[in-house]
Structure formats: C-alpha cells, structure tokens
Structure 1
C-alpha cells in the first residue's frame, strides 16, 4: 500500500429525496467499503444544539495496530510478492461524517466528508482515500440512476461554518483529533 493515495475528498449533492433516505444510502455504501457506524449519539447532540442537520459518523482504522505495523511496512513494501494478510498494513483512523438537511419540498442536501486523525501512523493517514472515493462514486451513481440528482460537487475542504462535517464540530462534538 503506498504511503499517500491521494487527497481525502468529500462530496456534496442536492437531490430529490429526504434527509433520512440520503443518510441511509450513504451509510450503506460506506459500510460496504469497511467503515463502521459510531454509536455515539452524534445526531442527538446536534439536535440538542438546534441543528437542522441529520448526521451520522463512521470510522475505519486502528490506532495502535497502524503504529506497530508502520515499521514492519517499510520492509514489507520492498517484498517482490504480496505480504501475508497477518503482516499487511492496518489503516490509520479515519472518520467520515454523513450529513443531510432539507433545502426545499422533497429536495435535500447531502454532504459526505472524511477527516484524518493525528492518531495512528502519520505516513498512512490518508490510506482510506480509495475506500472513501469508491463510496462517493457509488452514491453519485445511485443518485444518477434514480434521476434524483440535481447537482453534485467534489469537496477538497469544508468551512468551519457549524455544519456537522466541519472540523470544528467534529472536534467539539465527537472529540476527533
């Protein structure tokens, strides 16, 4: 696995659907990519703050295993054959926030945005990028097939504007660093 697999990017869609359905579809694609839903009351905490967003946080990676295997990875990367599964690198922790809100009658906005962590092996902090990219492509394809997509844009970053996908909210509400 290369040390840098490209930037972690998110995406934003405007679709003909409800926020709950958009969240459900996005979570399914991310779970298929290996992410696990966190059961930390994120949505309830947001509603307690008066947010109009519905949101879910998913995570992948293991802090300790990624650090331990980082040194072993230097040797494994030079092997002329694939390493046995027991020796393969473990992803550093990555959080993905899926958030949706209504923007009109039966029209909703969906944002999916990943956040790396300082925990784990730093050279591999973006190793989850291919998984995130695949899930985003599947969400886009699904919205296109249903004829529900009104607009789509790729996001290299998000402003700290109080939305659930912003770094400030992820840090304050989820304690993610």
Structure 2
C-alpha cells in the first residue's frame, strides 16, 4: 500500500548527532544512497558556500521528474487495483528531492533531513517517506544519535532543507 501525503505524515526529521557536521552528513547520505536515492549535483554546496552559510548539505533524488500525462494517468488508475501487483505495471515513485543538511551543535551536529515530493503530474504522494525513515533508522542505529524529532514541515528560514531554498537553488516544484 502506498503512503499518502494527506494529513500530518512526517516528511523528515531533525537529529542531534555526536559527530562533526561533515561526518554526520556523510553518514546520512550513505544511508540515503543505501535506500536507493541518487546523489544530486554541486548546486546546493555551491549556494551554501556563496552565502557563507553555517550549513553543509547535499540533495538526493528518487523517481522520474515530470511524468507524462499518459504515464501519470496510468499510475493513478492502476495504483489501487489488483493490476498494481504485476511488476511491469508497478507505479513509479513520486519524483522527490530530499535535502540532508548539518551544522554545528553543542553535542556535535544538528542534522535536518526533509523530503520535497513534486507537485507536478498525477502523483504527489509521500512515496519517499518510508525510504527516508529507513535511512534515518540506519543513522540512528550507529549509536551516535542523541535525539530524533519528526518533521511535518520546515520553516523557510534559510535552511537548505526549506522549500524556499529548494525552489530557489534547485528550481524544484
């Protein structure tokens, strides 16, 4: 059963980790890649350097951006039927960009991970949610995590995980 984006489904988390920010970010990215996310390019890191930000960050992605009308319609029709179990007809994951970011904290690093599903096309579900949570569970299993707080939203406060940053730097909608 696919996750829904209705209601207060978490799309990320804030972790306090007993590691320096660079190491905490690297561990988080390794966990996300293990869960089948693809690393983004250098745009996020370059933008943070230009802004002299206290954050280090990297985006990862899953799904195909901008599904066509016909594939989006087929996904919507087949997703809740018996045909959804036929491998050749499996619905593709909603295209999602996830930003993993870290900055100094008195106990090591504050790590913020947040998923931004696309609002384009027929699918806008939180398909990446279970994968993000599995990756965060991997990070937590290292024993370095002091706390983990689920996030349902994130303020547009200059954080690289915010919607404004993702929209302005990555052109993500």
TM-score normalized by the length of structure 1: 0.84
Give the CA deviation at 1:64. Answer: 4.4
Give the aligned partner of residue 117 of structure 2. 116
* C-alpha distance in 2 between matches for 1:3 and 1:158: 20
Asked if 1:157 corresponds to 2:153, the answer is yes
Structure 1: tracts of 5 or more residues without a match: none
Match of 2:58, SS?
Answer: strand
Match of 1:24 among 19, 23, 26: 26
Q: Which residue of 2 aligns with 1:82?
A: 85
8 A Cα contact 1:69 1:87, kept in partner: no
Which SS does the other structure have where 2:85 is aligned?
Answer: coil
C-alpha contact 2:73 2:122 (8 A) present in aligned 1:
no
CA-atom RMSD in angstroms: 2.2
Q: Which stretches in structure 2 are left out of the alignment for 5+ residues? A: none
1:81 to 1:101, Cα distance in 2 relative to 1, 3 A = closer
TM-score normalised by length of structure 2: 0.86
Partner-residue secondary structure (3-state), 2:4? coil
How big is the shift at 1:76? 5.9
- The aligned residue for residue 101 of structure 1 is 103
1:21 and 1:125, CA in 2 relative to 1: closer, same or farther beyond 3 A? same
Deviations 1:106-162 (A, max 9, x none): 71111111111122323x4322222122112222222x2xxx222221111111111
Aligned to 2:60: 58
